[in-house]
Structure formats: structure tokens, C-alpha cells
Structure 1
Amino acid sequence: MRTPSTARTRQLAALSALLTLTACGTEVRSVEVTAADPGSRMRTVAEAWKGTEALATMRRGFFPLGRFRTGLPQGGFRSSADNTAHLKGAYVATGKLPTTRPEARATWPDGTTRTAEPLTALQAVDLLGEGSNAPDGGHTLHVTAARLGTTEVATGRGQARVPAWLFTVEGYDTPFTYPAVAQPRFPDSPVAPLPPSPERDVAMTGGPDSVTLKGRTLTVGVSHGSCTGPSVVKALETDETVVLAASVLPRNPPRGPDEICNKALRLSHATVQLKRPVGDRVLLEAQQGTPVQQSLD
């Protein structure tokens, strides 16, 4: 059974403090929301990772920026029932699938390669969809065949091409796609996370929801509460790492005196311009002190 990533779990825990504060108007009025100044923490994280074996492992390995997702067929789902099954992860192999393991290698446009752990087609079927629920007797998507192809995944040094399983699903003319490599397990961080603090969590979140790269531009998506404003991201660059700190600004204009905050999460995006492309440097997140994308439990 699939479980949420460590980073995502910790992020939601950090955000819960923010949501507690924004759940009702009376509590929010007593909180002074200010932008975080994470410079000291960013330097602490960069120094803790410097020269470590964990850093060496990250730099010589294959570590995507986000968890793998299923590539959907052209035109999307044919019915709401299929969409619901996908969200539950209710895929089942009903045809004979290849048993071979592909050559698991990630390749970048500059010719750099890294090895990865291969997945059989049957192993990849178990990872299709968005949910962690096994088929429960309800509506399922039937995988009848598979063949090898390729797909691209985002990493700190740009898009990497990896082998992928192209699945034939009953009722669809074009394939569903999933990487034929396992989501890697990240090394332990050499620095402890910051302890929970509602006052700080209002300003500094538990980590980016998403990170995309284009040249020297990093775009970071950050979740926050309904009574706070947009996000802002700062970056500390060293020769080995790029440490990101995501903060939430006060809302402008401020919340009205009779406006009640709800528990809805909002997503805003912020960009930061680096001095040079990330390259083989490691992207780290300031509050948790971990790589931006964590391994699955």
C-alpha cells in the first residue's frame, strides 16, 4: 500500500498549526502575521550538509523533484467512474504482462547518466493512480498489456529521460504511462527539523508543494491558509547546495473585521532567480532541512 511522502506528511503537520490559527476569526485577530526571515536557518542547513556522505549520495544519484505520477491517455478518462477508480488507485492486471526488468538508467540532455532501481510491469501496475487503496470490489481499471517506452521526469539538473511502462487499459486506445524505475529512497538528513511553532508556521511553511526549473528560474508552489497572503521564496546558494525557504506574506488588503477565515488551503506560486543553474547541486528545504522531494515511507 502506498503512503504519503515524508516531506508531504511533515508539511501537512506544519500547516495544521496555521489552520488551527485561521479556523475562526477570534483567534486570528490575536495573531500578528509577518514574513519569515529564514536566513540563519538556511545557513545552518547548508553548513550541516556540507561535505557529508548524504550530500555525496544525492549528487551522484537519481533523485526526482516530485513523486511519480501516472501519465494519462489522450483525451483523459472516458467516464467519472474511471476517474474515481484512478483516484483510488484501483488498477488491476487482467492480461499477461512482461516479466523482464528494463535497464534502469536516467539520462540528461548533456549525456549525464545515473542508474536507478528497475520496476517490472506488475510492480508498476500497483503504483498506478493517485490513491493508496487496493481494488475493493468496486469499479476497477483493467490493465491488459504493457510495453516499454520512455518518459521524462523533473530533477534538480533538468528533465531526465527514464524507461517507462506503457500500459494498455481496457476501453482506451492510447496508453497509460508510468516510469519503469522505483522512486528512490533519500538519505537521512544531517540536520534536525525545526520544532513546531504556531507563530513561526504562520510565516514559514513546512516546505514547497512543487518545484519547477527553467534555466536559472525556480518556481515554487506553496500551500497556505485562507487568511494569509501570497508566498515568497528565498534561496541560499553554495557550491554544493541550494537551500530554499518558503514563507507566506500577510494578505493585502488585510482581512476585514467581520471576515471569518476557513480551513481551506490555497496554493500560490513564487519565483526565485538563481545566480546559475542548479546543475549537480542539491535542492534543500530550510525548515525540515531535507531534500525538496523525500522518499516514500
Structure 2
Amino acid sequence: MRIRASRTARLLVLVALSATGLGAVSGCGSEKGAGGPAEVAATRAQQAAAAWEGSFSAGVWRAGYYPMGEAVQLPRGGLRSQADKRAYQAQNFVLQGTLPTTWPKGGQVAWADGEALTRPMVGAQETYETLARAQVNEIPHLTVTGATLGEMTLYTSRGPATVPAWLFTLQNYTAPLKRAAVSPSKLPPPPVKPAHDLPASQLAPLGRLVRIAGAGRSVSVIAIHGACDDGPSADVLATRGSVVLSASVKNPETGNCSTQEREKQVTVKLNRPVGDRLLLDAYTGRPVPYGQPNGPSPSWS
């Protein structure tokens, strides 16, 4: 599995926003249907939901392994100092020791309902490199002294799952830092094309999924908006098989306005858990990818 930085994907989103008049998504929403400021957004959300419902792509999605939560778990109790937190955020690690050079070809992803899936394993060295991306290992840094193969639990498109993980030993810590060690499934081809040529005041692409919490009833996403608007907003259309988020920008200005894009987090509340329903972006017609700021993007994004 090659996990690449998400800057390229983020830039593509920003280019699309600029083309539609500077905008993006975020704000507050509730599970009342995709009313939105424009009827076109509601219509688009319904089209996306209908296209995925019962489709081949939906079947592939529900049978696959798609992480929708953080693939890294910090040592139990968290990082103990501000210096260690800065080092982690800067991805500044130093390896002092040896990492395993052999591992199983496949690892099992297991869900609470008894279903399981075998996915290709990622080696300890390659997994370590997804953590240690800093070019210069300056102070402060975190020191890795070794790793063993274990497991961890993370949120996926099919709910929480237990997956194989590399457990990295950190100097001065008794509990390990865990990183998922299996490759996500390949994203199926979307059954609907992206929306084009729509002003950001009607519909704009989402940035990324931040977290699913509250027993699956709270969904937080990142939206991008401009410097001269009233901020982003998001509406949600909930169906039996999907939760479709429609983002827009409130009162975007044109003309002599800064082209600086800004990010904002929005949390929408649902009447029932997301569960194994598809979490879709109405604009792109694709599942909303999970990702952290300046972090790796999912291989299926």
C-alpha cells in the first residue's frame, strides 16, 4: 500500500472551487432532507442517492474495507508533553533500532457481526515511513526503537473493525503507538458523474471526513470557503442506503476579493447511526474520504 500526502487531492478541490466562484462546504445541518438554499442541491442529492442505491458499486463498497477513522492510535494516555505533540504533528520521528523485515502476506479485517475480509499487509518499514515524513529530524522528535505485529480497532464504512497493526515502541513510553497495517480496498467506479458548472452558492465539493462519533449519529466534515463570503453550510439527505451531504457557500462575493481559501469544520446530527450506509458528497457523487490536516489521504480517495 502506497499512502500519499493529500495535498494534491486538496489542491484539485480548491481548483474546482475557484472555477465555481470560490467556495466550499461546512456549517451545521440536521437529518431533515436536502432542502438547502437552492432546489438544485436537493435534486442533485436525490440523484446521487438513487444512482448508488442497489448499484454494483454500492455492492463493492459494502463488501470492502474502507477506513473512515484514524489509522494511527497514540500510546495509551496520549503524548505526555507539548514537545512530543509538536513532533507528532510535524511527523518528526527518528528510528533507533531495527524493524521487522518479514510479515504475513495477508491480514484479516474482522467486524463485530462475524464477517471478515483478508487484505494485503503492509511492511513495518513502509508503515513507519507514513509516520515519519519530516525531511529533517530536528528537536523535538519522537524516537522509535522497534515494532511488533499486533492489532487495533478503527471505524470503517461497515462500522468498527479489528485490523492488524504495527505496534511501534517509543522511547520513554510504556505503551506503543499503533498504525493499521492492511491496505484498504480499491474504490469502485462511482455510478454518477460529478456535478459541474454550479455556483458555490448552490453546491460545492466537500473537503474530507474528520470523524464519525456519537454512536454513528454525529458526522464531522471539513469544508472550504472563501475570504469574502458568509461561510459554508451543509444539508443532509438521509435514505435507507446512504447519507448525502450537500455543501454550499453563503453569499459568495465576486470581483475584487482575495482568492484565499479557508477551511471550516461542520458537524451534522443524524436521527439514526450512519451504520453501513454510504456517506456521499452530493457534488462529487463519491464517498466522502477520511483524512487529517497535512496527513495521508486514503488510498481509495
Question: How many Å separate the matches in 1 of 2:23 and 2:50?
Answer: 33
Q: Would the aligned equivalents of 1:104 and 1:115 in 2 still touch at CA under 8 Å?
A: yes
SS in structure 2 of the partner of residue 242 of structure 1: strand
* Cα 1:285/1:208, change in 2 over 3 Å: same
Question: How many Å separate the matches in 1 of 2:192 and 2:59?
Answer: 15
Deviation per residue, 1:97-147 (Å, 9 max, x gap): 222237522222232323332222222101115xxx454464554321112
| Equivalence for 1:89 | 91
The residue correspondences of 1:186-225 to structure 2 (distance < 5 A) are 186-197=187-198, 200-207=199-206, 209-210=208-209, 211-215=211-215, 217-223=217-223, 224-225=225-226
Q: Does 1:265 align with 2:262?
A: yes
SS in structure 2 of the partner of residue 146 of structure 1: strand
SS in structure 2 of the partner of residue 46 of structure 1: helix
Q: Does 1:59 align with 2:32?
A: no
Question: How many Å separate the matches in 2 of 1:102 and 1:147?
Answer: 16
The residue correspondences of 1:58-207 to structure 2 (distance < 5 A) are 58-66=61-69, 68-69=71-72, 71-72=74-75, 74-76=77-79, 78=81, 80=83, 82-98=84-100, 99-101=102-104, 104-128=107-131, 133=133, 135-136=135-136, 138=138, 141-197=142-198, 200-207=199-206
Q: Which amino acid is the alignment partner of residue 244 of structure 2? A: V
SS in structure 1 of the partner of residue 130 of structure 2: coil
Q: Tell me the TM-score normalised to structure 2 length.
A: 0.72
1:60, distance to aligned residue in structure 2 (A): 0.6
Name the stretch that deviates more: 91-100 or 6-15. 6-15
Unaligned runs of 5+ in 1: 23-33
Q: Would the aligned equivalents of 1:92 and 1:135 in 2 still touch at CA under 8 Å?
A: no
Larger radius of gyration: 1
Deviation per residue, 1:240-286 (Å, 9 max, x gap): 433332344569xxx9xxxx989462524232424x54443322211
Q: Tell me the TM-score normalised to structure 1 length.
A: 0.73
1:154, distance to aligned residue in structure 2 (A): 1.5
Task: Return structure 1 stretches of 4+ with deviation > 6 angstroms.
Answer: none
SS in structure 1 of the partner of residue 243 of structure 2: strand
Unaligned runs of 5+ in 2: 25-35, 291-297
Name the stretch that deviates more: 264-273 or 142-151. 264-273
Q: Would the aligned equivalents of 2:21 and 2:200 in 1 still touch at CA under 8 Å?
A: no
Question: How many Å separate the matches in 1 of 2:172 and 2:247?
Answer: 43
| Equivalence for 2:28 | none
Q: Would the aligned equivalents of 2:20 and 2:197 in 1 still touch at CA under 8 Å?
A: no
1:19, distance to aligned residue in structure 2 (A): 8.2
1:7, distance to aligned residue in structure 2 (A): 6.1
Q: Which amino acid is the alignment partner of residue 276 of structure 2? A: D
| Equivalence for 1:27 | none
Q: Would the aligned equivalents of 1:12 and 1:206 in 2 still touch at CA under 8 Å?
A: no
Q: Would the aligned equivalents of 1:101 and 1:119 in 2 still touch at CA under 8 Å?
A: no
Q: Would the aligned equivalents of 1:156 and 1:213 in 2 still touch at CA under 8 Å?
A: no
SS in structure 2 of the partner of residue 127 of structure 1: helix
Question: How many Å separate the matches in 2 of 1:17 and 1:85?
Answer: 37
Question: How many Å separate the matches in 2 of 1:49 and 1:168?
Answer: 43
* Cα 1:104/1:13, change in 2 over 3 Å: farther
The residue correspondences of 1:30-69 to structure 2 (distance < 5 A) are 35-37=37-39, 38-66=41-69, 68-69=71-72
Question: How many Å separate the matches in 1 of 2:78 and 2:267?
Answer: 31
Q: Would the aligned equivalents of 2:110 and 2:163 in 1 still touch at CA under 8 Å?
A: yes
Q: Would the aligned equivalents of 2:22 and 2:200 in 1 still touch at CA under 8 Å?
A: no
Question: How many Å separate the matches in 2 of 1:124 and 1:109?
Answer: 26
SS in structure 2 of the partner of residue 265 of structure 1: strand
CA RMSD for the aligned pairs? 3.6
Q: Which amino acid is the alignment partner of residue 289 of structure 1? A: G
